[in-house]
Amino acid sequence: MISPSLRPLLLGFLFVALAGSPPTLGAQAPSSGESAHAQTPRLVIGIMVDQMRYDYIYRYWDDYGDGGIRRLVNDGFSFDNARFDYMPTFTGPGHASVYTGTTPAVHGIIGNNWYVREEDRSTYVTEDPSVRTVGSDSDEGEMSPRWLLSSTITDELILHTNQRSRVVGVSIKDRGAILPAGHLGNAYWFDSSTATMVSSTFYMEELPDWAQAFNARDLPSRYLAQPWETLLPMEAYTASIEDDNPYEGLFPGQDRPVFPHDLPAYAEEGGNAILPYTPFADSYLFEFVRAAIEGEELGRDQFTDMVAVSFSAPDEIGHRYGPPSVEVQDTYLRFDRELAAFLSYLDEEFGMENVLVFLTSDHGGAHNPDYLESLNVPTGQFSSRPAAQALRERLEEIYGVDPVLHFSAPEIYLDREVIRSRGHRLSDVQEDAADLLLELEGVAGALPATALRNADFTEAIRRNVQRGYNAQRSGDVAWWLHPQWFSARRTFGTTHGSPYSYDTRAPLLWYGFGIPAGRTTAPVYISDIASTLANFLNIPYTSGNTGNPMNHHITP
């Protein structure tokens, strides 16, 4: 029996015998014939655009060029009804769900931060004090995927090829690089204290030569040496509201949120750490990905390699300025041009028939409540501190003790030892807390942990809440607000995290490797991506996989 890893080479030699031309090293795109199913791409590029709403594809369509997002849409396959099927819709859970093929209920990444009951403190999603920074003397590299309970599709690729496939995770944010790279790949992210790319001893003892050479180029200083001007004349930004408006935040030292943004002056105040808050952070990451492909010689042999890159600037800019801003539009127009150049690079280096690309997001984003209120659109702002105080007081009236350990959106942790020591049933306190929350203005729903563990919800919102609940890590009550309500006072920009469509609907585009042009509104979930990749790569599904492959839509 022929080993699957040798089939591409043997097919190449057969082609030589029949056609008299030299074999091409590496896996090839699918072709007709019995062995087409055994072919795999040389290189997989997973692109996540942090906070990219689905509507940004068409909101800015007329100003995109032909070689970037339009190329993916027109020549690739678009899933127009792709969604996140859990709450909360944050960066950590988003990246984990895409690459593990499951939801927080299984992979355990229930937020960017969460309360750890056993330690009576909050933790950050990738914090790991047992490892050290590689590439600088800061603590920015004390990170790893230690909280991630499932394998990732990148882990499975490396395991399947007996560690001969290489995986690189890249982002400005540590969590955007670490969670996709999984437990077996290598991850690199931006150290704001040094404005360089770093890693941790979880992955390596020192940066490879190519990464050190990249840092030596000092690209942040180059990008921040000029003002951020609009790419097009201001009058062309008809998809955005006026540049000078009261719904946007400021750079340090800035008095009005308007173009041009004087980046040299702001860098003088905030240092090169301001790079992630500019669209040039995307340019920086595209350069790093090219350096990684060349430095690691990715896609050059018969074993599929993978780059998982997450572009964080759209999220940072979206949080500061909000979806209808000129800044967000300009960011996507610039990203589109960088993407076009990168796709051309892949085509020249490998041929797109040998490269599989997917593009998606980790969550969406809501419109600013003050902006919506100005347009008479239903909205509101929920203040957590008085709500927590009111809940504590009501529960103390009922049970004679304040049982709340930790109150945050979207969950409440109760002091189970105190409750039991007073002779109360935990399930009763959970249900009462949920009922009391529903009396507060802005709260749309609340579910006790007993219901989340034992019920089977089919209604979309409650199902999303349930799939975001992890029995060991989540709180005793999960709660959520009405659509377009914010859980904190937000006078500028935006946020996300809800179970509603503006946060859960995401673009999902597949391109290259013989994928036909097309689109569908068939419902799919972000957690379906990993199993789809597994089928393309002929490798096992992830250990926690609950998603369903969508290959039947995109396999010719």
Q: Are residues 147 and 277 in the same domain?
A: yes
Q: Are residues 244 and 294 in the same domain?
A: yes
In a domain, 476, yes or no: yes
Q: Is 324 helix (H, G, I), strand (E, B) or coil?
A: coil
Q: Are residues 396 and 360 in the same domain?
A: no
pTM here is 0.92
pLDDT value at residue 455 = 94
In a domain, 516, yes or no: no
Q: Are residues 163 and 286 in the same domain?
A: yes
Give the gyration radius of the chain's Cα atoms.
Answer: 24
The structure tokens listed for 224 are 């921040």
Measured distance between the N- and C-terminal CA atoms of the chain, rounded to whole angstroms: 27
In a domain, 111, yes or no: no
Q: Is 320 helix (H, G, I), strand (E, B) or coil?
A: helix
Q: Are residues 324 and 387 in the same domain?
A: no
Q: Which long-range CB contacts under 8 A does 469-474 form with residues at least 24 apart?
A: 469/104, 469/105, 469/110, 470/104, 470/105, 470/106, 470/108, 470/110, 471/105, 472/108, 473/108, 473/110, 473/114, 473/116, 474/110, 474/114, 474/411, 474/449
**Which structural domain, as residue segments, surrounds residue 171?**
49-77+89-97+131-305+318-331+338-372
Q: Are residues 140 and 18 in the same domain?
A: no
Q: CB–CB of 296/170 below 8 Å?
A: no
Q: How many domains does the chain have?
A: 3
**Measured CA angle at 311 (ends 310, 316), to 5 deg:** 125
Residue 246: CATH number of its domain: 3.40.720.10
Q: Which residue has the tokens 């396999």?
A: 555
Other beta carbons within 10 Å of 416: 15
Using alpha carbons, list the distances in angstroms from residue 137 to 191, 226, 227, 499.
10, 29, 30, 40
Q: Are residues 67 and 199 in the same domain?
A: yes
252 contact partners, CB below 8 Å, separation of at least 6: 266, 269, 270, 274
Q: Is 174 helix (H, G, I), strand (E, B) or coil?
A: helix
Q: Are residues 204 and 287 in the same domain?
A: yes
Reading the chain (556 residues) residue by residue, the pLDDT tens digits are 334 443 343 334 333 333 333 333 334 444 444 446 679 999 999 999 999 999 999 999 999 999 999 999 999 999 999 999 999 999 999 999 999 999 999 999 999 999 999 999 999 999 999 999 999 999 999 999 999 999 999 999 999 999 999 999 999 999 999 999 999 999 999 999 999 999 999 999 999 999 999 999 999 999 999 999 999 999 999 999 999 999 999 998 889 999 999 999 999 988 999 999 999 999 999 999 999 999 999 999 999 999 999 999 999 999 999 999 999 999 999 999 999 999 999 999 999 999 999 999 999 999 999 999 999 999 999 999 999 999 999 999 999 999 999 999 899 999 999 999 999 999 999 999 999 999 999 999 999 999 999 999 999 999 999 999 999 999 999 999 999 999 876 678 999 999 999 999 999 999 999 999 999 999 999 999 999 999 999 999 999 999 999 999 998 7
Residues catalogued as catalytic: 91
In a domain, 529, yes or no: no
Q: Are residues 323 and 225 in the same domain?
A: yes
Residue 467: CATH number of its domain: 3.30.1360.150
Cα–Cα distance, 28 to 44 (Å, whole number):
13
The structure tokens listed for 183 are 């437990």
Q: Are residues 135 and 199 in the same domain?
A: yes
283 contact partners, CB below 8 Å, separation of at least 6: 223, 334, 338
DSSP state of 359: E
pLDDT value at residue 489 = 67
Phi then psi for 545, rounded to 5 degrees? -55, 130
Q: Are residues 161 and 244 in the same domain?
A: yes
DSSP β-ladder status, 355-360 and 508-512: antiparallel
In a domain, 291, yes or no: yes
Cα–Cα distance, 357 to 232 (Å, whole number):
28
Q: Are residues 324 and 421 in the same domain?
A: no
